[in-house]
Structure formats: structure tokens, C-alpha cells
Amino acid sequence: MTDKRRYALVTGGSRGIGRAICIELALKGYYILVNFRSGIEEATQTLELIQSNGGNGELMPFDVSDPTIVETVFKGWREHHPGEYIEILVNNAGIRQDNLMMWMQNEEWDRVIDTNLNGFFYVTRALLKDMLVKRFGRIINISSLSGIKGLPGQTNYSAAKGALNAATKALALEVARKGVTVNAVAPGFIKTEMLNGLNENDLKVNIPMSRFGEPEEVAHLVGFLASKEASYITGEVISINGGLYT
């Protein structure tokens, strides 16, 4: 008799920090559901990297910001996986559309809030009941330095991530007695496509460690928070920023 498959969903898992998290959780024995909205080539590459490291998973394309699609996807998933549930959820899907607030358009505000904040709500709500029934779950939200200190030109992004931090703390209190932990990880400057257009040499002089972080460094922290060893940690927003802001 084989052990039941253990599932982890990583939203926005096709590249960058999301890809590194997928690989990290696969190494810990999870079957990875790699979510993405677009970019099938990158998502496929993530899955290939998971498999080349001895893990396994599948692609799960959907838009986290569409509540109807989210509900439909997970209804279908449950129908095909009776008795199973997704025990690890990493809410990583996010976008930036930077602009000074005086020039910011409605769609720039709405798109960032929809993906970074509403996406957390829709996906987490869809999976939470199963975690509570099974009395085990890990919800890990990928926040940002912007959500703690704020950054100019990122009023929309800072608002979304700051709200995500507050939601993390509130939800943690709701579910703590059921064996479900809820934490957030707030990266600083990490070497991903999200930093395209930013000058590393100019920025790293303000970082005590004098460098940008690597996606794998964030993934290791997420991997720990997903583990049973982190069972007494909940409601935390943990910064990983090389000492830039503490």
C-alpha cells in the first residue's frame, strides 16, 4: 500500500520566486500544482525542473483574480481527487504596475489589487475548508518589503501587500486551533524579472549585505514554514531582505 500523495499549490509558480518554491517543496516530497495565468513555456520549464530533481507535479492554469474560474477549477479538482486535499498553499501570484499616484490610472490600481490581494482571498477561501476538516494546513503568502515600509511609485502594490500582511494575521487567529498556520514572507530585492528596470548597483549600496537575494533563499524559508517543524509559528510576517529594513 502506497502513501497518499501530498499536494502543494503554488500560484504564480512558472518563474522567479514561484519557480524556486515549486522546486523546494517538490524536494520535500510534495506533488506540485504549478499555477500560472499565461506563459505556458515557462510553466512547462518549471515542471521539467521539478521532475529533473526527482519530484513530480502538474500544471494548473487559471487566473487567481477571477472568482468564478477559481471556484470552477477547485470544484473540478475535488471531483477528480476524492478523499484528497491540497495541504500547502503558497499565494505567490503577483504583478507590479508602478506609477506615481498622481498619474496612476484606475486599471493600474485595480489590476494590482485584483491579482495580489483578491487572488489571495479567492484561492485561500476555496481551499481553507478542507484544511480545517483535515486539521492540517499551511498557508504562506508572499508579501513584499513594499507592504511593510512602502516604496514611492508603488502605492497600489504597497497597498495590496500591506493588506495581505494584515489579512495574514487575522486569518491566522481564525484557524490556529485547527492545526492550520498562516504566515507571510516579505522579500526585499530578489533577483527576478519583477526587478527589471531597477539598477542593482544603485540599490545594493543601501542593503547591509550589499547584494540582492536569490529566489532559492526565499524558497528555503517557505519550505521551512510549510513543514511540521514550523507548527508553532503563525500570524507572522517574516522579512527576508539582507537587513535593508527590519
Residues marked active site are found at: 157
Q: Do the Cβ atoms of 9 and 60 come closer than 8 Å?
A: yes
Task: State the Cα torsion 130-131-133-135 to the nearest 10°.
Answer: 160
- Summarize the chain as % helix, strand, coil (round to 5): 50, 20, 30
Q: Which amino acid is at 134?
A: K
Q: Do the Cβ atoms of 124 and 91 come closer than 8 Å?
A: yes
CB atoms within 10 A of CB 206: 12
Q: Do the Cβ atoms of 246 and 192 come closer than 8 Å?
A: no
